Each structure stands twice: as structure tokens, then as C-alpha cells.
Structure 1
Amino acid sequence: MLCDIPVSPYRYVCSLRSCPCKMNPPQANASSRKNSEPLSMNDFWLEVENIKQMQGSDGEESSSSEPSTPEEGEAEADWLQDTGLSPLIGGPSPTEGNVLILSTLTRTQTAAVQRRVDSYSRSLRKRCKQPARDVREVFSAVSTTNSCWGSTNLGNILRGLHQNCSSQKLEPIASNVFDTEVAYSEQAADGQNEDCKTQCKPEKLPRFHIQKGRLGMTRVSDLSSPDMKQVPTLALIELTALCDVLEIDLKRNKAIKRKASESKLFGVPLTSLLEHDRRVISNTQVPLILQAILTCLEKKGIDVQGILRISGSQARIKSLQQRLERNFYAGLFSWDEVNPHDVAGLLKLFLRELPAPLLTAEYLPAFTAVQKISNLKQRLQALNLLILILPEANRCTLKALLEFLSKVATLEKSNLMSLWNIATIMAPNLFLYRGSNCKGPEGGEKQLAEGVAGLVMAMVHYQDLLWTVPTFLLSQVRKLNENSSKRFNDSRLLNFLRKIHTDKEKHEKSQTEPCKQVKIQASVFVKDSLAVQLDEGTRAADVLKKFQEHFAQRSWQMIRTVSLIKCNGSFEFPNVELYEVGGNICEHCLDHDTYMLDLYNANPNGEWVIKPSPPSTPIL
């Protein structure tokens, strides 16, 4: 939470077994809402009451089953499975891709893996089961007679990796700088952000700016799908390492089970909804019904006083839902005469009716545990990693929602909805979900409510930071791609695992070439390539500028054929971006501040291609 309360450590960790779905608000006069203080939770409790009434009016029993906490040892096994390291505990036959994840790990990440393997082994011993497999069994390709392994077990290898990792003290950085070059867990282990514990209030949140390195900044949308598929695994390892350093208990629950809905729009899993929507509009990343709701609110409700806070008519909302189910995909539904407050109620209903929470049942406890982090910057780092871990459908839908909520907050003068008001109203709709019949511990409701409201406020206010792929994670993706393309014989594998960090240091210390000439492809526009002379100051923006100037002069006839000339004859070049393709990355849209010579040294086997800017997500 980013206000007076969340910067103090909480002793309460929420799980889905102790969520406040039936929490009763502290005694408060609802009529005093207009004159409430910035940290008043009246809106939160009124929203909880509205949710209860809406659920009660359905006249249906919940079909959800309560999420369960994994048994001892099961959580570690699930974690190792999700991080691609299950072969370390005797899982299915390993592949090089599974094993080589170890080659990308930092000191703190390696320690986190070691803790999970050790914990799993202890749980097996307690239950008198077979211990974790010997490393010689894990790597079946390695001959059992190979003397290089000796009696080495998995723990020794991981400890060896841990010892080989760099333990250099990091230089402190300014408190308002969001550093993505160094792993967050490494920053925490070296006390780099100890000066970021300043108190902050909703009306005056501190600003952070991302410290761009020589390779620029990468957002989620800049990476291709194959590259992004590797990010959640690495982000989960890093989040676990960060929480270990901060001594935060990071728990996950098993997925909840709920009967499939017979509807087409509400109560449908996001993946199923998007699968249907992509038959209508290909490459849709946000459900079309949610896009339509948000578009309607932006057009006719975003500046209405009390939007999101003032409840619409339950009867009208229910009628809207039924009409949409019948007519939405047929294109027969009109939003023209719909009351904005009813549409806002429909938005919240859509979120609550999802079979699983938008933040996922597995990671909802992790989101609420983040409120225990007293350091503001580290809290944002944990949120950044959590968002990267979310499934793509959840992440894209959450992004669309947060972008809308940010727009609502910018119009506070007309709609009277402050960022804190928005957070306290939307928090119950994100953290309480249909069928979660549980009650928080006595006396803990207020802290929990303030904590989750603070998290929503952080996600809305700092979303530009949260949808960034940290540079250190992208470097790990590159390393993983490089190592996955190599083949290792029996005698080289152990030495490779032990020397990876030494090799990394040597690579970082190597001198970059002072000058380099490269060719850049732009086959969409012209057949031949563009030769560019790189030096230490050449950026991606410089390359794009040279491309536009060069081909604006040479290719007038070609440009006319693709209708890029205005009627008055003036030249208008399309928006283009520079992409890194191949080598140790699949496809990466480059930040304009990327220094190209540094990128060449980071990925010498990659190609650079100029393409049109990707189209924005279609909105109904």
C-alpha cells in the first residue's frame, strides 16, 4: 500500500482461506462518505455490501469450491514444476531446456532454488519417502561411470553455483530511480534500497523513473510471444528470491474449481472468452465485451460524478447482462441509452463473475502478501514480477482495466473520484470473488482492506513501471536461448554449470568494438538493405531517422505505389520501429534509446529489421 498505513510492516498475511468476503465493516456512518478523509474505507465497505446484495439477489448457491493450501512438500514440488526445474526432484525425464535454466540464475536466485529443493527433501524424509534423486539420475545422458561427477549430489552443484555467483557490493542509487539492470533480489540483499522507506500519501505519491541502460527499456508488448513465454518462469524464481531476502512468506493456492457457466459473456474463463472473440477479430487480447464496456464508459461516463462509486440499479444491471448475452455477438445491442452507473456496475459484475479472480487464485495470496513489504520501491518490484507471472490473458485484461482507471483518476475535478476512491471501490471486485465464503481473522479486516486498496492504487498509479520487462530478466532470456542452442557432452555439463557466472563476468568485461558497419533490412519498404556505420553514440532513433531520410529521397516512385503521398504532394512516412530478430532473441522491438553497438555485442548473431509500428488493439 502506498500511503501512511502500508509503509508500516503488517503482521497479517492474507490467503484465500482468510479473505474478507464476509468481513463486516467497522461502525461507520455511510452518509459521511462525501466528507470522508483520504484514508476513509467507507467506500470499500459500501462496495462489499453492494456485492453481498448482488450475490444474494441471484438466488443461487455458489458452485465454487474453496481453494486449498498445498500440503508440506507439495508447494515446493509445484514451484519447481512451474519454474521448469521439476527434474531436480525426480520428475519426468529432463530436457536441456529444463536444466539450462540453472545457467541463467543469479546468486540470490540460486539460493532460492536450493531452499526449495532442501525443503522438499526434508518433507520427503518426514514422510519416509524416497529422497530427491541423485544428480546422476537427473541427467540421464551422463554416464554413471564418469568420474567427473564422483559422489556429487544436486545440493552440492547448486551450492557451487551459489558460491560462484558474484557477491560484489552494489553501488547505491537514488531513491527515485527504478533500476532494472540488476536483479531486484540482488539489490535487496545488498541493501541498495534502504533509503526508500519514506512515508507516502494517496494525494502525493512519489515519482519513480526507470534508469535506462545502454540497451534501453523493454515493455511487455515489445517482446514476441515465444520470448514472453520464458519470462514468467524467470520472474517467479526472481520473485521467490526477493521474498526470501525480505523474509516474506510467499504462498500460493491451488486453482479453485467452478462449474462452467452456460453463458457466453459473464462467468466465462478469460481463455475461453478470448478464443471465441478471436473468431470475430483475430489477435484480440482483451475480451470484446470488456472493451465495449470500457469504451462506453469512456464516451459517456468517465466524467460523471461518482462514476464507479454510485451503484446503478440492480434490476437494470441484471437486465443489461441478459440482453448482452442474447444480442452482443449478433451486433444488435445499443449502448446509446444505457445509464453510465449501470455500465460501471456491469464492469464490476464482469470482474466478479469470472470463474477465477483476474489476479488468479494461485497468486492472489502473493498479491496480498506484498503489502507486508515496507519499502516502497521493493513493493513495486514485487508487483512488477507478479504481473509478469500472470497468464497472458489475465495480464492483458488487467492492463486494459488499469489504463481505464487511470483515465478516471485524471478527471477527478469533474467526476470527484480520487485515486484512493477508485482503489477502495475496485479492490473488493478484484480481491473478493464469487463463492469465496470466508472471513478474515478478528481485528484484521481493516488492515487487510487498507492493504488491498493500497495495492490497487499502486497498480493504477505506477502501471508504466509495472508493465516493464526488467533488463536483467531479458538478459536471462538471452542467456537461456543461447545455452538452449548448444549441445553438451557428458564431460562438459558439470563444468559448464559451475563456470557460467565466471564466463558472464568475462563477457561483461570484454572491450566493445569502437566502430562497426552493419546492414539493416527493410524489405517491407525496399528490396535492398541500409548500411549503417555504428559508433558508441549511435542509437536506434538515429538509425530510424537515417532510414527515413535515405529512402524518402531514393524511393519516391515506390512510396507512391503504396499511397504514402498526401493529396497535396507532401511526403508522409509511416510510423516504423526497429526490431532485433534472431540470435539470442526471437523478436524484440527496440527502445529508441538503445545504443546499437552495445546491442550488437549483446547479440552479434541477430539481425535488425525495420517494420511498421504494430497496430493498436482494436476497440469496439
Structure 2
Amino acid sequence: MKNRPANMGGNERFSSWNFTATRIPRPQIQPNCLSQHRKNALCLPALSDPSFSEMSQAPCTKPPDQLSTDCLHSQDSLDRLSVDDFWQEVQNIQQSGSDSEQEGSVGDAKQPEEGEQEKEWLQDAGLSTLISEDSEDVDNVGLLSTLTRTQAAAVQRRLDTYTCSVRKKNKQPVRDVRDIFRADNSKKTLMETKDSGRDSQTSCPLDSCGREFFITDVAYSEQAAILQKQTKLRSRNSRRRKDDGTLPKLIPVQCRLGVTRIGDLSAQDVKKVRQLALIDMTALCDILEVELKRHRLGKRKIHESCLFGVPLATLVENDQKIKPNTTVPLILQAMFSYLEKKGLDSEGILRVPGSQSRIKNLQQKLETNFYPGLFSWEEVNPNDVAALLKKFIRELPAPLLTPEHLHTFNTVQYIQDLQQRLYVLNLLVLLLPEPNRSTLKALLEYLEKVVSREKKNRMSLWNVSTIMAPNLFMHKGVPPSKPAEGDEKEQAERAADVMRLLIQYQDLLWTIPNFLMIQVRKLNESSSRRYQFYDKRIKNLLRKMQSEKTEKNPPEASPPVISGPYRTVKIQVAPLLSDSMEVRLDTDSRAVDVLAEFHMNLRSMGNSVVKRNGSTAYPDCAIYEVGGNIGEHCLDPNTYLLDLYNNNPSGEWIIKLRPASDKLF
């Protein structure tokens, strides 16, 4: 068990909130009503750290009718001075009665016994054979060979803990850790050589405009280890950049192989990404001394409902029978679409709770008439739909952030460094199952649109975060840790801050770091070589073929190597065009340039559509990298193709239509 982070002091960890057993005490506001308190806060001076500032109890010296115009326009600073919306949302949840209706539907979450958590972790990381009788496994050997030093150390700690727990239970002995991770100082693990030359880059360099770079080509755990060493060597008198509570603009370091998003890879490669992400996140949390807990939900009753209280994966599976390739439940898509048309400009949207009787009636009508297509949204109140949206999320049998990772999402708030918080969130997003990840992304995209209309709906980023945090981080199935008395406000602020990071940096969080892509390619190469030469008969056959080839083609007759930064490749374009497309690549050739040339060929063949305004419309196509050291990879338009060819010379390129995706809005 890890010690609590130093910045926590004597406070208990905040794993999640529970709003069914006991009511969370709301800070007492003296003695005026909530609205008067918010008016008083208008006259307070701006603080250096508004996200974690103390709520002032001093009354305003100015009467409400003499408030200055400047104070009236300081809504953003007002929202950050308090977390009143958080407690108001908790009170609305308690009064709604929705959770009492679900009482008994979900059993209490159980924490695995000693050793069971490590066993589940090794299984999720793709290393289950390390604790089984099978001493040799091709995939395990390949996966271990791709790990960095800190990642391998994280695996070793879990395996060591599991070994000790098994020995205590007098079970059959398992493989010794030293048999798996043999000390060999003469060899370095993957990427250590690269990482050693990038130590100076892990301190978050700034560009000429003062924006911070988001480094993804070095493992996050390695960056944390380097930063930890630098912190120890740094003088106590050195000055650090003061955190004023604002969120900086982070610029991802440009990679010539382009940006890879989670939906750009095949299912087999996504599985490898999740395994490697789990290992690196665990190694990162070990360095940051963040405790990881995994919960399992107990048995739950089967609901007769077809929409609310239904497992998310079941909803998506049923909706795919109606609309193939659906990744977000259709009911959520309908609510997001309606709220974008009718609710974005409504003042206090998400804050105003709506009528409980109308919300209950709306839910019943949707249960009966939504799938038959008989429901009409014409006369529905936007505030009722917003309240029903939050209720839908709360009533999921399992948390949207999953019971396995909900605690880790909550512990992110205790990490001091902003980039390290985002590193953990990035890896956590990659670990979510596809229905959960897609639903969370759709929710965050809608919340981002709400914030973009702040001038009309009076909902700032901090305001939206404080309201939505209880709905995501509270779940009756996952028991919370009891906070110390008087710490509820601080924990509410920290939970809202994590929600704020999810909304603000969602584009960064839904990308696959470059170091994980390097490890996936290395893993595929290792697996391919091992499977290819695993059979001795194949070895002998290849050796015989090579000797015959050498006799027929002596070395002096071998073709010369083509030098120079050019390469001519063929790209498959069928069935869009009748023949393949030949392209000459140089150091500046990008995927977007090849697509432009492909569109010109389509236009010459009459396969384009001319719109009324004279512009030309082309089918939604992309270049896919297939085979070699990758399963299938949809290329970013800014990918430099010659670099990609040198990285995966045995892969093929295909131009084809993108799969039909969910059009949420």
C-alpha cells in the first residue's frame, strides 16, 4: 500500500461521493440566502488561485443596487469563488428521489482480496501467463520486451505482491520475479536510449508565445521519473512558476507520423494500447505515490426499463441493431441534439433543476414511445431534458467512468503538476471501454458547447464543472472514503477541477501518445517475428530458400540500392477507381497532398458532385496503413508519408471511405 501524497496533509482520500446513505453537509452561508451570498461575492477582490480559494464570509459593504458594472460582468471569477452550485446539485439529486427508486438494484462495491487486485491487473495488462503454469508465451515475451524501465518496475511490483500473497495462502508456488526480469545492465529496454537524450524536454518547455508543449513521444512514467530527479536536485531557493488557477494552452509536440486518435486503430491494436496504457499509468501513479483501487460491483436486479438503469454496453448493443456502427446510445444522441437546438442559449441550463413531476412524466413517455418513434420533442422544456440527462448518467448500473477506474479519476485531483494530471487522465480515457469512452466524449462535447455560449446562458467552464462533477464522480455502487471534518468544500473544488480538465483538454485526452504507438509497432514486429520462426520446419524451409537464392543471384549481381530522399509507391484505391494510384514521395509529401491528387483523379473520372454554390464535394475518404507493424491505421492528414514508409516499409496503403460514424448533433 502506498503512502498518501504529501500534499494531502492529514486529509483522507476522496475516492467518490455517496449520496444515498448519508447527506453530505453543505457549507453554512451566513446568514443571508444563497443569492445574497453570491451578490456579496461579487465585491470580493480576485484571488491568485480562484479554483482553490477560500470562500469569504465577510458581508458586502455595498447595497445590491449600487453594484458596479465591472462587478456584474465578473461572472467567471464569481463562479470560482465558491462551489455553491456543487452543493445545490447534490441537494437536487437527494430531493429528486431517483436514487431511492434504484435502491437495491446495485449491490455494494467490493474491493478484491489481497492478491486478487494484482491478479486482475496482470490479466488486464495482458500478462496473465506470468502467474499461470504456462512458462512460455509469445505475446508476453513480446510485451515485456517493449516496456521501459519504469513500466517494467511497475509490473515487477505487482507480480511480487501477488507472489507474496499466494505464498501466504499456501498455494502452489508461482514463477519467481527474478526469472522474468533478469538483471542485465548491458542491455537497455525499449526507448531508454531515446529517453536519456530528452531529459531536458520533460520540464514542459514553452514556445515564443508562452504556451506549454504537451510531450507524448516519451513515456509518461519516464517523464515523471526524470522530473522527480530534477526536483530533488533543484535548489530550495529556486523559483517555480506560480499557479494562478488559469488553464494554459497546451500544444502537442508535432510528430511527423501525425496524430493518432483512439478510433484510428484496429480493434487488435486498441487492445494492445489499453494493455500498455494500464502498465504506464500504474508506473506513473507509483512514482507520484497515488494509490490505485479497483472496485467490483455486486449483483444487481434486472430492470424492466429499456432506457434508464440499463447497462451502457447493453444499450449500445441494442441500438446497433437499429443503427449500425452506433457507439453512443440513441436516447443520449436525441437528448444532445434537442439541447443543442433549444437549450444552449437558455440561462442557467444544467443549473435549473426543472420540475420533478414533468421530469418523471417525460421519462415514462420516453420509455414507452422513444423506440417506436412516437415521441415528440416539440413541447418539452429544455431544463427538464437537461435534468433528465444528468439523471440518466446517475442511474447507470455502473459508473460511466467504470467501477475499476472511478477511484483513480478521483485521485487525479491530488496530483500537483497540471501536465502529470493530464497524463493520468489521458491514460485513463484510453482504458475506458468503447461505449463508456464514446459516451463520455459526446457528453464533454456538449458541455463544451454550453460553455461556448456563456454570454447568453451564464454558464462558465467552472460553473458547468461544479454542476456536472457530482453526476460523474458520485455513484451509490462505489463506496466513498469519509473526508475529514471541514474538508467537504475542498474536495468539491478538487472534483470540479478534474471535471474542468476533462472539458477543457478533451482533444488532447482522446489521442494516443506517440510512445504508445511506438510500443505497439514494436510489439507487432516482435510477435510477427516470433510466430514466423516459431516452427522449426519454417526455419529450415526459409534457410533452404535463402541458400538457393544466393546460388542463383551471387552478391555481385545484386541490384544497387536507390539513394536519395525519394520513393515511388502504389496506393490501392479500388473500388473508388479502377486501378491503383502511383505516387512519388519526397520529404515534404503529406497524406493531405496525396488525397488532393486523388480528388483530382475522381473529378476527371466524373466521380465528384458539384454543389449549387459551385464547390465540389468528394466522398469522405482517408488513407489507411495496413499490415507490417500495424493492424490498420487511419492516417492523420498531416502525416509525412516518406517517414511513415521508412517506419513501416512492409505495410500497404489503401484509400477508402471512412466508416459511417455517429452524427450526434
* Residues 593 and 121 (structure 1), Cα distance of their counterparts in 2 relative to 1, 3 Å cut: same
* Residues 98 and 400 (structure 1), Cα distance of their counterparts in 2 relative to 1, 3 Å cut: same
Which residue pairs with 2:495 in the alignment? Answer: 452
Question: C-alpha deviations, 1:12-38, integer Å up to 9, x for none?
Answer: 423359889732122134334644531
What pairs up with 1:354-365 in 2 under 5 angstroms? 354-365=396-407
Measure how far apart 1:371 and its partner are: 1.1
Question: Which stretch of structure 1 is more off in the superposition, 269-278 or 153-162?
Answer: 153-162
Alpha-carbon distance in 1 for matches of 2:636, 2:222: 25
Which residue pairs with 1:544 in the alignment? Answer: 595
Measure how far apart 1:566 and its partner are: 4.6
The Cα RMSD (Å) is: 3.0
Which residue pairs with 1:528 in the alignment? Answer: 579
Alpha-carbon distance in 2 for matches of 1:18, 1:322: 26
Q: Is the 8 A contact 1:85 1:98 kept in 2?
A: yes
* Residues 292 and 92 (structure 1), Cα distance of their counterparts in 2 relative to 1, 3 Å cut: farther
- Give the unaligned 5+ runs of structure 2: 42-77, 207-211, 232-237, 537-561
Q: Is the 8 A contact 1:7 1:375 kept in 2?
A: no
Is 2:50 the counterpart of 1:22?
no
Which residue pairs with 1:345 in the alignment? Answer: 387
Measure how far apart 1:449 and its partner are: 1.4
- Give the unaligned 5+ runs of structure 1: 1-5, 136-151, 493-510
What pairs up with 1:223-302 in 2 under 5 angstroms? 223-302=265-344
* Residues 351 and 247 (structure 1), Cα distance of their counterparts in 2 relative to 1, 3 Å cut: same
Measure how far apart 1:225 and its partner are: 2.7
Which residue pairs with 2:216 in the alignment? Answer: 180
Alpha-carbon distance in 1 for matches of 2:613, 2:488: 66
Q: Is the 8 A contact 2:325 2:661 kept in 1?
A: no
Which residue pairs with 1:593 in the alignment? Answer: 638
Is 2:180 the counterpart of 1:154?
yes
Measure how far apart 1:526 and its partner are: 1.1
Q: Is the 8 A contact 1:513 1:597 kept in 2?
A: no
Task: Give the letter for the 2:577 counterpart.
Answer: V
Task: Give the letter for the 1:460 counterpart.
Answer: I
Q: Is the 8 A contact 1:539 1:592 kept in 2?
A: yes
Task: Give the letter for the 1:486 counterpart.
Answer: R
Question: Which stretch of structure 1 is more off in the superposition, 10-19 or 306-315?
Answer: 10-19
Is 2:112 the counterpart of 1:84?
no
TM-score (normalizing by structure 1): 0.85
* Residues 513 and 34 (structure 1), Cα distance of their counterparts in 2 relative to 1, 3 Å cut: farther
Which secondary structure state, in structure 1, belongs to the residue aligned with residue 529 of structure 2?
coil
* Residues 67 and 162 (structure 1), Cα distance of their counterparts in 2 relative to 1, 3 Å cut: farther
What pairs up with 1:545-560 in 2 under 5 angstroms? 545-553=596-604, 555-556=605-606, 559=607
Q: Is the 8 A contact 1:584 1:603 kept in 2?
A: yes
Which residue pairs with 2:75 in the alignment? Answer: none
Question: Which stretch of structure 1 is more off in the superposition, 106-115 or 439-448?
Answer: 439-448
Q: Which has the larger radius of gyration?
A: 2
* Residues 304 and 201 (structure 1), Cα distance of their counterparts in 2 relative to 1, 3 Å cut: farther
* Residues 490 and 570 (structure 1), Cα distance of their counterparts in 2 relative to 1, 3 Å cut: closer
Which residue pairs with 2:35 in the alignment? Answer: 31
Alpha-carbon distance in 1 for matches of 2:646, 2:564: 8
Is 2:512 the counterpart of 1:486?
no
Task: Give the letter for the 1:475 counterpart.
Answer: I
What pairs up with 1:65-144 in 2 under 5 angstroms? 65-90=107-132, 95-133=137-175
Which residue pairs with 2:539 in the alignment? Answer: none
Alpha-carbon distance in 2 for matches of 1:376, 1:108: 21
Question: C-alpha deviations, 1:178-230, integer Å up to 9, x for none?
Answer: 1111111111111199799745556x321001112111111112223332222
Alpha-carbon distance in 1 for matches of 2:127, 2:515: 20
Question: C-alpha deviations, 1:240-286, integer Å up to 9, x for none?
Answer: 11111222222222234322221000000011111111111111000
Q: Is the 8 A contact 2:569 2:584 kept in 1?
A: yes
Q: Is the 8 A contact 2:567 2:584 kept in 1?
A: yes
Measure how far apart 1:157 and its partner are: 6.3
Measure how far apart 1:153 and its partner are: 1.8
Alpha-carbon distance in 2 for matches of 1:469, 1:60: 37
Alpha-carbon distance in 2 for matches of 1:484, 1:438: 42
Which residue pairs with 1:606 in the alignment? Answer: 651
* Residues 360 and 56 (structure 1), Cα distance of their counterparts in 2 relative to 1, 3 Å cut: closer
Which secondary structure state, in structure 2, belongs to the residue aligned with residue 172 of structure 1?
helix
Question: Which stretch of structure 1 is more off in the superposition, 395-404 or 529-538?
Answer: 529-538
Measure how far apart 1:358 and its partner are: 0.2
Q: Is the 8 A contact 2:125 2:278 kept in 1?
A: yes
Alpha-carbon distance in 1 for matches of 2:297, 2:519: 29
Task: Give the letter for the 2:461 counterpart.
Answer: L
Which secondary structure state, in structure 2, belongs to the residue aligned with residue 283 of structure 1?
coil
Task: Give the letter for the 1:526 counterpart.
Answer: L
* Residues 375 and 177 (structure 1), Cα distance of their counterparts in 2 relative to 1, 3 Å cut: same
Aligned length: 574
Measure how far apart 1:121 and its partner are: 1.8
Alpha-carbon distance in 1 for matches of 2:461, 2:6: 18
Is 2:96 the counterpart of 1:54?
yes
Alpha-carbon distance in 2 for matches of 1:196, 1:430: 37
Which secondary structure state, in structure 2, belongs to the residue aligned with residue 278 of structure 1?
helix
Which secondary structure state, in structure 2, belongs to the residue aligned with residue 254 of structure 1?
coil
Which residue pairs with 1:146 in the alignment? Answer: none
Question: C-alpha deviations, 1:345-400, integer Å up to 9, x for none?
Answer: 10010000000010011100110111111110110011000000001110000000
Which residue pairs with 1:474 in the alignment? Answer: 517
Alpha-carbon distance in 2 for matches of 1:51, 1:586: 45
Measure how far apart 1:323 and its partner are: 0.8
Measure how far apart 1:611 and its partner are: 2.0
TM-score (normalizing by structure 2): 0.80
Which residue pairs with 1:63 in the alignment? Answer: 105
Structure of higher RCO (CA pairs closer than 8 Å, 6+ residues apart): 1
Q: Is the 8 A contact 1:17 1:68 kept in 2?
A: no
Q: Is the 8 A contact 1:114 1:158 kept in 2?
A: no
Question: C-alpha deviations, 1:389-447, integer Å up to 9, x for none?
Answer: 00111000000000000000001100000111101100101111245565622323223
* Residues 125 and 405 (structure 1), Cα distance of their counterparts in 2 relative to 1, 3 Å cut: same
Task: Give the letter for the 1:172 counterpart.
Answer: S
Q: Is the 8 A contact 1:256 1:356 kept in 2?
A: no
Which residue pairs with 1:308 in the alignment? Answer: 350
* Residues 284 and 385 (structure 1), Cα distance of their counterparts in 2 relative to 1, 3 Å cut: same
Which residue pairs with 1:191 in the alignment? Answer: 227
Is 2:406 the counterpart of 1:402?
no
Question: C-alpha deviations, 1:42-79, integer Å up to 9, x for none?
Answer: 11111111111113785563332221222222211111
Which secondary structure state, in structure 2, belongs to the residue aligned with residue 384 of structure 1?
helix
Task: Give the letter for the 2:179 counterpart.
Answer: N
Task: Give the letter for the 1:601 counterpart.
Answer: N
Q: Is the 8 A contact 1:367 1:383 kept in 2?
A: yes
Which secondary structure state, in structure 2, belongs to the residue aligned with residue 547 of structure 1?
helix
Question: Which stretch of structure 1 is more off in the superposition, 568-577 or 176-185?
Answer: 568-577
Which secondary structure state, in structure 1, belongs to the residue aligned with residue 97 of structure 2?
helix
Task: Give the letter for the 1:240 counterpart.
Answer: T
* Residues 513 and 39 (structure 1), Cα distance of their counterparts in 2 relative to 1, 3 Å cut: farther
Measure how far apart 1:610 and its partner are: 1.4
Task: Give the letter for the 1:98 counterpart.
Answer: N
Which residue pairs with 2:84 in the alignment? Answer: 42
Alpha-carbon distance in 2 for matches of 1:354, 1:264: 12
Question: Which stretch of structure 1 is more off in the superposition, 268-277 or 36-45?
Answer: 36-45
